[in-house]
Chain A
Amino acid sequence: MANNTVTAVYRFVIDDVITNVRRDFEDMGVDETIMHELQRSWETKIAQSRVTTFQAPEPSAAVEPYSFEEPTYEQPAPASAPAPAPAPTSASAPAPAPTSAPAATSAPSTYTPAHPAASYNYRVEQTPAANLANVASATLPGDNSNVGRPQPHVAPRASNAAGNNNNISLPGGGRNGTGDFSNIPQTDGAADMTELEFMTTEELDDYVEKKFKEAREAERLTGQAPGEVTFTLTLSDRAARKAKRDGLEGFSIGQVDGEDDEDDDTGLGSDLDDSDGDMDDESDNIVLCQYDKVSRTKSKWKCVLKDGIMLINGRDYLFHKANGDFEW
């Protein structure tokens, strides 16, 4: 009995979700076929899990067969939107930063408001060059107040950093060879020059621009007012490779705050951090629900549960209300 309900309820949930996210797909400029693909894939997985008698969706004529292997997605945006990306696949030749600046300033005005997020939603982070291509074609769409800001805003920091990197060294880290300065104490927080040492000016520009764009996107999504952008620099893959090539692998900052404490066996994840006993014993049978009342008299427990979804012996069951009696 319960399983007929399950099928009907799952049908309702799927339809309800798909109906209600249609707007989100539109807002993000994601094509409707992707949404149908999501629905088809979801239904197939439920059918395959055999938790209920859910029939696999028949391949509908309206939904085109979709290839998951295809890495790129053609955005049906206005033809003016995507700037012709300069050699996006050529990882070896990152385009110089200045070329991206004119594109950045002109691109936003060509976007229609309906597709503000047009071309960077599907970006799969790959190579610096690919990122730069995306930056060039999609910097700050729909945010005209910030047109042109990225360059003046970030460039001084990047060039300063790159320009100074020969003059700064770290306590205990006299590996960069500027012995005269090796004893200057660092008072501005954790060492952040390791990456800068290994990056060219162009790489730095790319990196900063990328971070800036990510921050702008986050702001746009959260509806925050544009504000100051802060981010931390970490060792990029490329810089790491260069470091390795230069024999600087294993380069580390001297430890001046006492002995290593990694072996502290009272920390998180240690044997002592396991007081739950078999509470987290992963059983395949699980009930997720709400409780109205839980009471106990001596070793007898009673609870009133509601709106539950349970997986028992590989089948799903639902209940509106359930009374439980346990003995401890």
Chain B
Amino acid sequence: MNSIGLALIDSLDELIQSGHINPQLAMRVLAQFDTSIAEALSTRVRNRANFRAHLDNYRSLDDVWTFVLSNPTFRFEHDHVTADKVKIVACKARIPGEV
């Protein structure tokens, strides 16, 4: 889970615990979050990245690829990032026109 989503879940959880909202409303907010972040990523982000890594492990299940990489180097346009391990979870991109 990503940081912005986790932050939202935490906030919703606190409001549920304190009785200010009910879980149904929290689920509605999360559903809206999924829509909003997908839209933001596809329309607001324009930068490209390249990365190389050693592939430790891989899996493809129900159109979801999971890769466990070691020593990846991510190159963006102006900077680059390295790490010792990273996990990639990738869902199949929707083909335009397909529901």
A complexed with B = yes
A residues adjacent to B (C-beta < 8 A): 1-2, 5, 8-10, 12-13, 16-17, 20-21, 24-25, 28, 30, 34, 37-38, 41-42, 45-46, 49, 51, 68-73, 121-124, 221, 276-279, 281, 283, 285-292, 294, 301, 303, 305-313, 315-328
B74 and A312 within 8 A (CB): yes
Per-position binary interface string of chain B over residues 14-43, scored 1 when its CB falls under 8 Å from any chain A CB and 0 otherwise: 110011111011001100110111111110
Cα–Cα, bound, A278→B24 (Å): 35
CB distance from A4 to the nearest CB of B (A): 10
A9 and B44 within 8 A (CB): yes
CB distance from B30 to the nearest CB of A (A): 9
Cα–Cα, bound, A5→B47 (Å): 9
Given A303-B90, A326-B53: A41 and B69 interface contact (C-beta under 8 Å):
no
Cα–Cα, bound, A318→B65 (Å): 19
CB distance from A28 to the nearest CB of B (A): 5
Chain B residues with Cβ below 8 Å from A281 are 68, 85, 87
Chain A residues with Cβ below 8 Å from B3 are 46, 49, 51, 311, 316
B90 and A289 within 8 A (CB): yes
Max chain A C-beta neighbours (<10 A), residue from B35, B68, B77, B86:
B86
CB distance from A197 to the nearest CB of B (A): 32
When C-beta atoms are compared, the residue in chain A nearest to B88 turns out to be A287
Chain B residues with Cβ below 8 Å from A316 are 2-4
A41 and B86 within 8 A (CB): no
Interface residue from B8, B22, B77, B92 paired with A121 (Cβ < 8 Å): B22
User: What are 8 A-to-B residue pairs whose CB atoms are below 8 Å?
Assistant: A17-B8, A37-B20, A68-B14, A72-B19, A277-B57, A294-B65, A318-B45, A323-B48
Cα–Cα, bound, A303→B44 (Å): 22
A10 and B4 within 8 A (CB): yes
A321 and B29 within 8 A (CB): no
Q: 3 nearest interchain CB pairs? A: A326-B55, A45-B7, A290-B93
When C-beta atoms are compared, the residue in chain A nearest to B64 turns out to be A291
B40 and A327 within 8 A (CB): no
